[in-house]
Structure formats: C-alpha cells, structure tokens
Chains A and B, each alone.
Chain A
Amino acid sequence: MTTVQGLNRDRLKELFDLRSSYNTLMGGDFQTDPYPLWARLRAEAPVHDGTVHRLSGYSGEAFFQGLPFPEVPHFSAFTFAACDAALRDEVTFASSPTVLGESSETPGFETSMLSMNGAMHRRYRALVQPSFVPAKAGWWITKWIEETVQLLVDGLVDQGRAELNVDFCAAIPILTITHSFGIPIEQALEVRASLSQPAKIAAMLAPIVAARREDPQDDLISVLVQAELRDEDGVHQRLSDLEIYSFAILLLLAGSGTTWKQMGIVLTALLERPELLAAVRSDRSLLRPAIEEALRWTPTDPMFSRHVTRDTEFFGKHLPAGSVLHLCLGAANRDPARWDRPDEFDPRRPVKRSLGFGGGFHICLGMHVARAEMLVGIGALLDRLPNLRLDPDGPQPRYIGMYERGATEIPVVFG
C-alpha cells in the first residue's frame, strides 16, 4: 500500500498552493474578500450584466466553466432564488454551449459528462453514480481514505507543528482519487501536474485500463471498464477507452483539487474559532454540521455557469439565446432571504441545503466522497493532535482565490 511519507513535499507545495502558477489560471491571485461586494450586488438586483470576476473587481483573465466565450453576452446571478431556478431548469440553462456528439475524438473534460446535456448526461452519469452514493462512503473510507489519513498524521504527530493546507488537506484527495484508480503513488503528483494535458493522463491510464479489462478489481477503473451504456434503442455497449479517459480525467480533476481547498476552509474556520473547535472536539456529531456550514459559508467553487438556450426573461433581465449566465453560488449561499445572519459561520444553524455542491442534474457527483474525506481527515486530526491550534508565530491563514477559493496556508501547533 502507499508510503505517503514518500511524497515529494516541495512538488506538493508547488502544485497545491493557490498562489502558485498552477493555480493562478482560476484567479488564485485574487486576494480581496468578495463577500461584501457580492452582498451589495445581490441587494441591488438578482441578475447583473457581466462576469462574476469583473463585477468583483478582478482585472486578470480568469478561466472556469462558462469562460471565456468573449463573443457572447455574459450575465451573473447573485440571489439564491435565481441561482437555484437556473440550476433546476436544464432546458433553458444548459451545461454546454453545443450538443455533444456521442463519439468524440479527444479525451478531456470538454468531452466528459460535465459538458453533456439532458438524456445523454443522465445515461453517462448513471454509470458512475452507484460508486458515489452515500451507501458507498464506507467503501471509500475503508479502501482508500482511512489508511492514507492515518499515515499522513503519523508523519506529523511527533513534530509538534505542521502546515496542514498542503501536507494534509491537499494530500488526502489526490491520493484517494489516484489510489482508487489504481495509479501508483509515485505518479499521483504527476497526474495533478498533467491535468491540462489529457493525452499524458490517457497514456498513464492506458496500461491500467488494459489490465482491468483483463482482470477487473474492486476499484473505479474496473467500474468504468465493466459499465454498460444503454443507448436510446436499448442496446448495451461498453465504454470505449476514449470515453473512459474522459470520465477519468473529469473525476481526477474534480476529485483532486476541490476537496483540498474545502477541507482547508473547514479547518481554518474551526481553528479561527477556538471555542467552536473545542466544542467539535468534545462532541464529534458537530463536525458534520461544521462541514456543511463551511460549504455554505465559503464554497471553494463559488461560481458555475450555464449557457442560455432560448431567449428568456429571468429575474428582471432579458437573457438572449447564446449568452452565458454565471451563477454566483458564493453569493447565493449568503442570501439573507434564505439564511439569518448569513455572514456568520454557525454550524448550529437549522439544517438547510446550500448550493455548495452546485445543484440540478449536474450536482457534484463526488459530494459524499468529499464529505467522507473531510470527516475522516479532520476527525483524525482532532483524535490524534491534542490542543491543536493555529501557530501564533506563523502567518495567519487568509481565504483567497476567485473561482477556486481556499486558504493560503494553515500553520498549526499542537501538544
């Protein structure tokens, strides 16, 4: 099994620092707290002209789903009601600007189910959904999460101090997802570094896919090679290698970065509130609500987009067909029309769905795995690092990033 101590920490830091060159593409160098501005925009109107990053005063080029598309009009929704309505109406608000053909030429997330619409998306998603349901959380924890987490804590426990954002939060998701694919740990960081080069990832996956076609194991690539897609005529068909690569690239992309940042946000929010941290430590049933509250309060992905398929009047704006509607989920999650004291981080507030994992038919496939990683990861820190607290002599964590938000660093001391 893994030797997580063998991870190259310098390389890990390079890949998993929001301020590094790998992460500026999504606006990782955005340093301002956008929430006061988002509150003003949300109060002014549910929908505004322009993109979220321009409206937020970010002057750089930021890329994310629905960007850049410079030739079409852009709008941004800021209220919970508007974002929720768009996510639920997949006919007017499509995930992709074009209808994807069944046979794509190149692997990558552009040809994955992230970009599919309607019935086609449902057929593809149904292939992997059984591996990502709440009942599978135990499988993920036992097979892929728990041991990695304990080995990572083994590496810190005697040192009295640690930087948890990279050495812990970043390591767990990338190791979980690559491990569940059968990718050896030596290649785990290379996968993360190569996410923008799908051909390279496909080459790394090719021998694993071939081996699992011969001899299936209890892992995700085996699920994909054994999956049978049923087309509209009811004919069953296995996925091609290309389709498996696209699936795999989407899962690697989504699984290796988001949970890192969200776990860092949960941890930071707790460490900044020592009384709350103590309460969670003594009553572990508070950890799950704390994770849910962090997903509401500061979702790591505060924006997703939809492509407008037909002229529509939407919350006071005329949206022409072909335009892009950006959904500022971060703003929606602090809508005072839905939550009292929305800017407060309060895990004890009444339970209610937020848009932290998105919504609609494309709602985060991996959300129960992400929850399991955060629960097991933070739980292990609380179990094994007594008196865990922010390092008073270290730099204090700050929340940064435009379309991928997270903590700068989380230096802690314990014992």
Chain B
Amino acid sequence: MSDRPRKTAGAADDPYREADLGRAYDGRLMRRLWGYIRPFRSTFIASLLCLPVTAGLSLLQPYLLKVAIDEYVSVADTRGLLVIAVLYAISMIGEFTFLYLQYYLTMSVAQRSLAALRVDLVSHLQKLPARFFDRNPVGRLVTRLTTDVDVINEMFAAGGLTMLMDAVTLIGIITILLVIDWRLALVTLTVTPVLAIAVNFFRIHARNNYRRIRDRLARLNAYLQEAIAGVSVIQLFAREEQSFARFRELNDHHRAAHHSANIYEAALFSVVEAISSISLALILWYGGGQIIAGTLAFGTLVAFIEYSQRFFIPVRDFSSKYAVMQSAMSAAERVFELLDRSVDIESPPAGKVVDGRGSVEFDGVWFAYNRDQPVLRDVSFKVEPGEKVALVGHTGSGKTTVIKLLNRSYDVDRGRVLVDGVDVRDWDLAALRRRIGVVLQDVFLFSGTILDNLTLGRDDVGRDAAIAAAEAVHADVFVKRLPGGYDELVRERGNNLSVGQRQLLSFARALAYDPRILVLDEATSSVDMESELLIQDAVERLMAERTALVVAHRLSTIERADRILVMHGGEIRESGPHAELLAKEGLYYRLYRLQFAGTQGARETTAAGAE
C-alpha cells in the first residue's frame, strides 16, 4: 500500500472532511477482505448459491401467471389453474426462504470475518511503536475500529452482494422478456437509456451530497460534544450566546445538506416510478395492438407488465447501494492502511534472555524524535545492579527520553543501550520488558476494579500478591476504606480517586510486577501533605533491592539517590552524590535551588507543619 500515493494525505489537517470517494470496487482491497472471509468460505459460497435460486424463483412467478392465463384460464381448465397456483405458492415460499437464508448467511460471514478483522487491528495496535501514537490521535484510531469496520459491514448488509443479486435479476428479466417476445421486449426496453442517464445523474449528486452530509454531521457532533464537556467554561465567561450562535450555524449547514439531498432523492424516486409507468404504457400500447392483431397472447402481456415492474425496484436502489460500496471501499482502504503500518520495534528472531542482576548502561546514545533535533547527544552512563540513580534536569533536557529508550518504547539512533550487558535490541522483547517496571508521571487507570488495575489482568500476579504489594506502598489504607475494597470499580480514568491515591496504586502495580529494574518518572503535580509523606515512603520501598532509575522531582528522592545525573540540552553535564554536587555549586546547585527549593521545599515544609 505504501507504494501508492495516499489519496487522503490532506485529511490530517481536517479529520471531518470525508476522504474523496473513489471507486465502488477495488480488486486489491477485495482480495484482502477475502482473506478474512476465507475461513468461512463454505458458508459464504452457500450464501452466494442462494442468490440465483432466489432470483430464479422470483422470476418464475410472472411466468406462471402467463401460463395460467394463456394455457388454463383461456381454455377454462380449472384443475390446471390450481396446479399453477400451487406452483406459485411453492415458488413464493422458496423465494422467501432462500432470501432469508442468503441474508442471514451473508451477515454471519460478514460479522465473523469483521470480528476477526477488529481483533487483528487491536492486536496490531499493541505492537505499533510509540512514535505512531505520538502522531495519531486516539479518536482517529477508534474510528478505524468502529465506524470504518461498520461501514464495511454495510457493504454486506445493504450493498455489494445485493447489487450482485440485482444484476442477476436484471439480466434474468431482460433474457426472459427477449425469449417470450423479442419485439415487445425491445419496445419495453426503449426506456432503459433514459433510465440509465437519470440514475447516473442522481448517482453523482447523491455521492456529493452523501459526502457533504457526513462532513457536516461530524462537525456538528464534535462541536456538540465539546460544548457539553466545556459547558462550565462557556458559562464562566458568559459566552452562551456566542456558543449557541456557532452551534446554530453548524446545525443549519447540516440541515441544508439534508434538504438538498432530500430533493434529489425525492426526484430520483419519482423519476424512476414515472419511467416504470411509462414502460407500462408502452407495453399496453404496443402489446395491445399485437393482441388485437392476434399476434400476442393475453398472458404474455400480463407477464410483461409484472416483469417490467420488478425491473425498476433494483434500479431505484442502485444509487444508494453504489454510495454504500464507495464508502466501504474507502473505509477498507483506511483500515488496511492501519494494518499495514510497520511495527518497527520487534523482538529479534532469536532474542536473548539473560538472567543478570540488573545493570543498565548507555553507551554513546544519540536520539531524536524529529530528525535534526537531537534530544539526546552522546549520552553515556552506567548503573550498577542495585544502584539508585536520579536524573535531574530542566524541562526538555532529555530525562524522560532516557527512560523511554530503556524498554524500547523507542530505539536509539546511534550508540547502544545495554541491560545486563546485552544490547536491548538483541534482547527478547518480552523478557526485557519483564525485567523493567515502569511508573510514569500520569498514572493511567483502566476501567475495572482496583484489583484489575494492580494485576492488569495478568494471571501470573495473584490476588494475594497484588494486595501485599498494595500494603507495602500504603495503598491498602485508602483501598480498604472504599465501599468495595479491592473490588471497587474505578470510574472513568480514576475520577473517584485523588491524585495521590492514583500514584500509590501505580506504585503497587509496579511492585506486584516485581521487576529487577525500576524506572520511575515522578509526578510534578502537587498533592496534599499526608499523601506526600506516604508517597515518599512508598518510593523508598519500591526502590529497595532493585536497580532504580528515577526522573526525580522530590527532594527526598534525590537525597536518597546513590548518584545524581544532571542533564542539560540532551547531555549529561554533572554526575555524583547530592552533597558533592551541591558543594560544587555548578549546574546542579542552580537547578536544585530553582526546582527543589522553590516548589518542593514549600511542600516538604507544609508536610512537616502538618505533623
């Protein structure tokens, strides 16, 4: 897919804009979809086989009518008529049975293959590199999995296969008409060019309208959602009127798009109906003359009328089905594009697993998020097993990046990162990450119970182990006070927990994971004094008997660290224990005064004051 220029390149600027709708059929995409249908191919083939049966039975009915009139009614054969009636009933029951069967089988294939596609997408997301998530907002990825997959489903439900069936039906009708009476058939079919032109005209307008509607609806809903989420801000600044004016404008645009769509749809519907009536008139006019002239049977005329009526239903629905196909194709394109994103950071084929004591070494590491803007420049340091090292530096100095390279969230551009003497790129990725416990600044809690959030659903961490971990970091004090204890549900992103409580939970999570190497990015946001003391103690317990690399924001943490690395502009500028570095009165001394004496000092003292 990457060898083709992306049509939707501009969409990044405006996600509400519908990608240009292209073809209604794309063989390449269809083949990929087939990969998902394949496991259910016998069901799929069965559903396909239903198509001609349904169409055939449906087309048999007008013919039975013709036979009834011409061969039995006209010769007063009541018994023969009853036989036809029974045949008619059988064909009807058969048609409906197969119609239902076809729809249900198709949907069951569609649902099961799309379910597999969704699982594939989610599995793939788990492997995509951090870089990918830096550039792709959550909302867009969710859309791929839900809306886009659903649009593909519509292709099965209301588009592709029924279009195939329609085509079979149309060809069948034309053939039958020609066979019964080719002259009358040609007269009847004279309307088809007009029909084709009309339908094509409306198809183009329907497509444009459809795109406009999607676009405007997306804008309207996005605005609505944000206005509800930000209603307090709107009210605080007394901006209700302005906000409403904007909503009304978007709402009006949305309505206008539907208004014009309604007009086109109404016209299409009416025109097709009219052409159908005109063909009826043609049949009467020409066929009537033939009957009078004695060259046409009555039943044939009736059959023609019936067939021509059946001819127009699929034609009328064509443009909407075409639109469904088009959007299904562009949805499939987007979905597969996501699946084709390369994983970049993978476990090497024969990844090493080393049972070392937990040393970490950076050896001449260079790294940049954006080319030309290195965030780390030739960083080298070594952390011995069991050593506690604090990283200190101004915002943007590269501290956090060091952490991210360690567990291969990103890979280095130059140099090496070694864990227990082995380059992280040679490590078995799972084993590497199993050795490293990461606690990040913004604590992420999942919906589920407190316990779920400690074990993350992994079965190698039992309930008792999780609770023991929570006790060790003082999280059990507040958890026990919750009505449901460890089974209390965590609300949306942990809204029912305080910042401090969430941090303690993330410590418990790391402790339960029991890593050899602990990586901690301390939160900068302030918490109340009680929590602060608990957190300080918890951090100490967490680091005990482990190699620890901490981006430090707490005075207590830097004071306890064996060594402090001072980073500035992507380089390590100073290194040594707290007191020694202070005495040097260099960069660390200045940083200390700015960061720790200002904020942390105040917080520490308030904490002390609370005692």
* A joins B in a complex: no
A residues apposed to B, CB below 8 Å: none
